[in-house]
Amino acid sequence: MKAATSFLLSLVLSLSSFTALWAAPRRDFAEQYRPDRQIVVDTRREDDSLRLFLRFPGNHFRPGQVMYVAAWASYTAKQPKWQYPVQLQPGHFRQEPAGTWVDVAVPMSRVPVGQIISIQPSLVPAAASASTSKLPASGSATPPANPDYTDGALWLTITAARLHKPYILTDSLDRPLLRPYLHTGETFKIASYGPEQPLQTRRYPLSSQPALPPMSNPAAVALPRTLALTDSASFSPNQVVRLPSGLYLLKAGSSAPWSGLLVEDNSYPEITSADELIAPLTFLTTSAERKKLFDAPDPKKAVDKFWLDLAAGNQAVAKQLIRTYYGRVMKANRLFSAHKAGWLTDRGLLYLVLGPPESVYREAGQEQWVYRSDPERAATYTFRAKPSTFAPEHYELVRRPEYERLWYAAVEQWRKGITVRTGR
């Protein structure tokens, strides 16, 4: 009897190990928080289709290459609800040193509000793909390049605003802008589908409020619930527009939804002025230390001295600290710009001090950032979606008291002249 029990136990353990070995890993989206690998997107409604404008990093696309569009029940679903191949055609993709611009159209009937879709490039030759003139009822005979759909793929949740916006913003070269921010020296235009419409703008003051530390209680800090309208304006169709700094709502056409645009001074998302160098130090310094930097006769030299002091006079270490920290500031601005500069947001906060997350897992309405390379600071941070008209992709950190020790340890490492390294 004991022998039989022992055999069964061994069999169960063996099967458990086999199952764990072959279980599909969780889909990891950390690649989207590496600016050199990020895929950016905007959408425009065109009659009964939703057109997606994307920019992929690199310029390795070829005519006839296939893009796989797939729909998913959730970010953790193992199989798509449907998928179909779209062959890249002349006029719908353009390669430049900055990346490859691609646009594909999806029938509106297939992308209701809340639908999650992925778009993944493949190296499958066009001759091997199924016909792309009609959307198959389900599935596709040709598998994607990576069946997990995360290798160089865009993932997007379809919102009501995306389904109803009949225009996109374009830059001075008529390329889709594909970002929710500009600096005051940039111009843009509206590219509408259908009759041309005037552009309406509403301007609100910029926020300089940095995110609270991850162990703080947000309820203890009084923040304004509404924004005061500064001014409004209207621009003719096809007019080249340049806006002063501010947080904007834009609208082209009476039935179109409002959408947000952040316009910052100087060379945003780059940082060039002394104030822009000092402000992000709020996460590493006291208010007295920052006041001393702002009041210095030469603030830029004072900032250099601040970092040199942290590095105990070692110039090479100080330069590395400066490159790492301010590099993260600029990357956070590109990745997380919302109703305020990217480094001011909750995700920007962790990105600056802890570095890029090693893994990112998404579920309905939230994402988890995982840090694991340093056992003493290993932790998982949860962000919950907090969309608004100004910032439909905004997330807020779920703050917890137990993060206090981890946070102060990370800050102390910076103050000892040690950069926080992650696995990515």
15 falls within a domain: no
Tens of pLDDT along 148-162?
A: 666 688 999 999 889
Burial class (CB in 10 A: 0-12, 13-18, 19+), 136: middle
41 falls within a domain: yes
248 falls within a domain: yes
- Same domain for 51 and 150? yes
Does the pLDDT value for residue 15 go beyond 70?
no
Does the pLDDT value for residue 195 go beyond 80?
yes
- Residue 147: band (very low, low, confident or very high) from pLDDT cuts 50, 70, 90: low
315-336 vs 299-310: helix crossing angle, rounded to 10:
110
Weakest-pLDDT range from 4-18, 38-52, 176-190, 342-356: 4-18
122 falls within a domain: yes
Contacts of 21 (CB under 8 A, 6+ apart): none
Tens of pLDDT along 102-126?
A: 999 999 999 999 999 999 987 644 4
Does the pLDDT value for residue 66 go beyond 70?
yes
| β-strand partners of 181 | 262
23 falls within a domain: no
- Same domain for 306 and 393? yes
Omega before residue 269 within 30° of 0, cis:
yes
7 falls within a domain: no
Provide the residue type at 345 as one letter. T
11 falls within a domain: no
Tens of pLDDT along 303-362?
A: 999 999 999 999 999 999 999 999 999 999 999 999 999 999 999 999 999 999 999 999
In 3D space, the residue among 215, 213, 80, 205 whose CA is nearest the CA of residue 149 turns out to be 80
Which residues span the domain enclosing 234? 171-264
Choose one of 112, 136, 163: the last residue of a domain. 163
What local confidence, expressed as pLDDT, does residue 59 receive? 79
- Same domain for 153 and 185? no
Does the pLDDT value for residue 12 go beyond 60?
no
- Same domain for 125 and 184? no
- Same domain for 250 and 198? yes
Tens of pLDDT along 371-392?
A: 998 888 899 999 999 999 999 9
CA 63 to chain centroid: 28
Domains identified in the chain, total number: 3
Please state, in angstroms and rounded to a whole number, the distance separating the CA atoms of residues 161 and 282. Answer: 35
What local confidence, expressed as pLDDT, does residue 42 receive? 97
- Same domain for 219 and 312? no
- Same domain for 196 and 220? yes
Does the pLDDT value for residue 134 go beyond 60?
no
Sheet of 395-397, strands arranged across? 359-363, 366-371, 379-385, 395-397
- Same domain for 56 and 80? yes
237 falls within a domain: yes
How many residues appear in the chain? Answer: 424
Reduce the DSSP state of residue 127 to 3 states and report it: helix
Does the pLDDT value for residue 236 go beyond 90?
yes
Choose one of 202, 230, 264: the last residue of a domain. 264
- Same domain for 183 and 154? no
- Same domain for 281 and 405? yes
- Same domain for 408 and 293? yes
What local confidence, expressed as pLDDT, does residue 329 receive? 98
Reduce the DSSP state of residue 89 to 3 states and report it: coil
Report residue 204 as tokens.
Answer: 């609100």
- Same domain for 358 and 407? yes
Choose one of 233, 264, 295: the last residue of a domain. 264
CATH number for the domain spanning 144: value is: 2.60.40
What local confidence, expressed as pLDDT, does residue 149 receive? 66
